[in-house]
Amino acid sequence: MKHKDENTEANFTAVMQFVLLGFSDLPSLQGLLSALFSIIYLTILVGNSLIILITRLESSLHKPMYFFLANFSLLEICYVSVILPRMLLNLWTQQRSISLLDCAAQMCFFLMLGTTECFLLAVMAYDRYVAICSPLHYPVLMNHKMCVQLAVGSWVTGIPVQIGQTWQIFSLPFCNSNLINHFFCDIPPILKLACGDTLVHEVSVYVVVMLVAAVPFMLILASYSKIICTILRLPTAKGRAKAFSTCSSHLLVVVLFFGSATITYLRPKSSHSAGTDKLLSLFYTAVTPMFNPMIYSFRNKDVIAALRKMFLKRMTR
């Protein structure tokens, strides 16, 4: 009996520190993965920083659409910086331990920034809706004050919700293992380590996801249904193509982000596997943020023209 109590106490002591297994099951690829994710992280930092810089310096981009794009780029930098530096450190040092507090902080910031992305994508859809469906009222409806309020609202809305959800999850007792079969502290792998019945917590996760992801997604769908109807009523093919080009980049980003995140958090627990979770998580935490600047810049004539103008100025000095 005494021996059993000692084991139980040891188990509870062990969970003061978790171990992020990450990609330890691929020992021969540690160097390659380290180089690959370093390149991805640098690409995300440079690409999104360039968008922030160009939207600040180029007067032709001082419009609501690009104000929100600059916010989105800043968000992407913060979003990936919560995860990739820690993952790179684990790959470089092979020291995968993370304290309970650091794990909770990583999850909390990841969830808050993920919530911000959901609402900011909805705000960007609303901006396109007003621009295309009510062009005459656009300068009045999307004035600077309104843009700032919408951006700030997107950034702060998820803070109390996700702090509460993180506290609820980490208030669970962890006694099965301290090995997290993932590359960061995400909800599904953490819940797998909890003792006892986690049904109430799983239901709360579904409720929060519906609140912070499904609601913005429905707003995006409503905006784009109106946009498509308006575009189809335009008299010329050239006008329809121009109108659709202004929102096609945003629509592609929405599909990539919401598609991978929905599959991760809303599919049944029985269908979760560590390999699939890691692959899906990589998609929306690294791959999509890496391609977002390319999607927005290469598919936007105004951004390309501003980039060309900025580089020409630097070369002629």
3-class DSSP assignment, residue 165: helix
pLDDT in 10s for each residue of the chain, 317 residues: 444 444 444 444 446 788 898 888 788 888 898 999 999 999 999 999 988 988 888 888 889 989 999 999 999 999 999 999 999 998 898 888 899 899 999 999 999 999 999 999 999 999 999 988 898 999 999 999 999 999 999 999 999 999 999 998 988 888 767 888 888 998 888 888 888 777 888 888 888 888 888 889 899 999 988 888 888 887 777 777 766 776 777 777 888 788 777 777 666 665 566 677 787 788 878 888 888 887 777 667 777 777 777 777 767 76
Residue 279 vs residues 165, 232, 260: alpha-carbon distances, Å: 24, 38, 10
Alpha-helical (H) ranges within the chain are: 2-14, 30-57, 64-81, 84-93, 100-133, 138-141, 144-156, 158-170, 187-192, 199-209, 215-232, 237-266, 274-282, 288-298, 301-316
Both tokens of 30, joined, read: 């540690």
Domains and CATH numbers, the chain: 2-316 (1.20.1070.10)
Rounded to the nearest 10 degrees, the angle between the axes of helix 64-81 and helix 100-133 is: 160
pLDDT value, residue 7? 45
DSSP 8-class letter at 1: -
pLDDT value, residue 8? 43
Enter the pTM of the model.
0.86
| Residue whose C-alpha is closest to residue 282's, from 16, 44, 49 | 44
pLDDT value, residue 293? 80
Residue 180 vs residues 79, 87, 157: alpha-carbon distances, Å: 20, 13, 29
DSSP 8-class letter at 174: B
Q: N- to C-terminal Cα distance for the chain? A: 80
Rounded Cα–Cα distance for residues 162 and 109 (Å) = 8
Q: Which residues pair with 264 in a beta bridge?
A: none
pLDDT value, residue 112? 95
3-class DSSP assignment, residue 65: helix
Residue 202 vs residues 20, 78, 139, 172: alpha-carbon distances, Å: 22, 27, 44, 12
Rounded Cα–Cα distance for residues 215 and 5 (Å) = 47
Give the full edge-to-edge strand order of the sheet including 179-180: 97-99, 17-20, 179-180
Each as own residue / partner, the long-range contacts of residues 262-268 (CB below 8 Å, 24 or more positions apart, any chain) are 262/213, 264/188, 265/187, 265/188, 265/205, 265/206, 265/209, 265/213, 266/206, 266/209
| Residue whose C-alpha is closest to residue 291's, from 58, 81, 76, 79 | 76
Residue 152 vs residues 107, 156, 256: alpha-carbon distances, Å: 21, 6, 24
Q: Which residues, 6 or more positions from 283, have their beta carbon under 8 angstroms from its beta carbon? A: 256, 260
